[in-house]
Amino acid sequence: MIRAEPGSRIGILGGTFDPLHLGHIAVALAARDALDLRQVWLVPTRTPPHRSGTRVSIYHRFAMAALGALSVDGVSVSDLDADTTGPSYTYALLDRLHADGYRPAQIVFITGADAFADIATWRRYPALLDGAHFAVVSRPRQSVEALCARLPELTDRFILAETDEARERLDTAQTSIFLIDAPTPDVSSTNLRERLRTGASISGLVPADVERYIQRHRLYAAEISTAGHLHEHTA
């Protein structure tokens, strides 16, 4: 597993990355810049708990995340969830980091506002919010401002990033939820899979290296998928 520098904070962006796209990268960079994170890890989840499954194996998804991170300063990929069994719950990922010596206030779990809007459905909510700071980034059709009305019970934990108070909260043991209003591309993995299935272009929606990787391995193409060919294994 990649190690953080001693005493530094790490950003964690978990997801299926099925496939990784520029929206994921934009969310990671928005959190990195707003909270001055020296390291952000992309963590491909092996078995998403809220979905029926992934289209391609964890190996392909890890490779795409690695390619997407190659040219992005301060962003790398981690296999933290690659060997887990059962559903990939956020609380379990945070528990693994705690067991490895990371304090909750040393971890910033990054997510889009669209995913965080359903935080009440996540396993071990609200206790999991004590396991890390959360950085929530605006997504098309889901602003961070709207979260305050949707989740009034979290009002005391919400704080706008890039403020003096936010800097102070980052340095305390109590975890907070940092709201980051930043533009991110209107792209989703679901839409990308449909475009690939029908032969439409995905140029400009995913990193160029990821697009080449998808084309090379014929991922998501037509009805018969070659998704499990790498290592002859599917997630």
Region of poorest pLDDT, from 26-30, 93-97, 136-140, 221-225: 221-225
Q: Is the pLDDT of residue 94 over 50?
A: yes
Q: Is the pLDDT of residue 181 over 50?
A: yes
The pLDDT of residue 2 is 54
pLDDT-derived band at 47, boundaries 50, 70, 90 = confident
Closest among 56, 44, 45, 41 to 10, alpha carbons compared: 41
Burial class (CB in 10 A: 0-12, 13-18, 19+), 150: middle
Q: Is the pLDDT of residue 230 over 80?
A: no
pLDDT-derived band at 231, boundaries 50, 70, 90 = very low
The pLDDT of residue 52 is 60
First to last CA, the chain: 20
Q: What is the DSSP string of 55-91?
A: SS-HHHHHHHHHHHHTTSTTEEE--TTTT--S---HH
Kind of pairing between the strands at 107-112 and 158-160: unpaired
Q: Is the pLDDT of residue 7 over 70?
A: no
Residue 56 structure tokens? 């391609």
| Residue of 203 and 85 predicted with greater confidence | 203
pLDDT-derived band at 224, boundaries 50, 70, 90 = very low
Closest among 43, 75, 161 to 113, alpha carbons compared: 161
The pLDDT of residue 51 is 60
pLDDT-derived band at 234, boundaries 50, 70, 90 = very low
User: Mean pLDDT, to the nearest integer, of 20-25?
Assistant: 98
Closest among 10, 132, 28, 112 to 71, alpha carbons compared: 28
Q: What is the mean pLDDT of the chain?
A: 90
Measured CA to CA, the distance from residue 190 to residue 2 in angstroms comes to: 29
CA-based angle 140:32:59, to the nearest 5? 80
pLDDT tens track for 76-91: 999 999 888 888 999 9
The pLDDT of residue 222 is 67
User: Mean pLDDT, to the nearest integer, of 111-129?
Assistant: 97
Q: What's the pTM value of the predicted model, to 2 decimals?
A: 0.90
Q: Which domains does the chain have, with CATH numbers?
A: 10-186 (3.40.50.620)
Helix, strand, or coil here: 73? coil
User: Mean pLDDT, to the nearest integer, of 102-130?
Assistant: 97
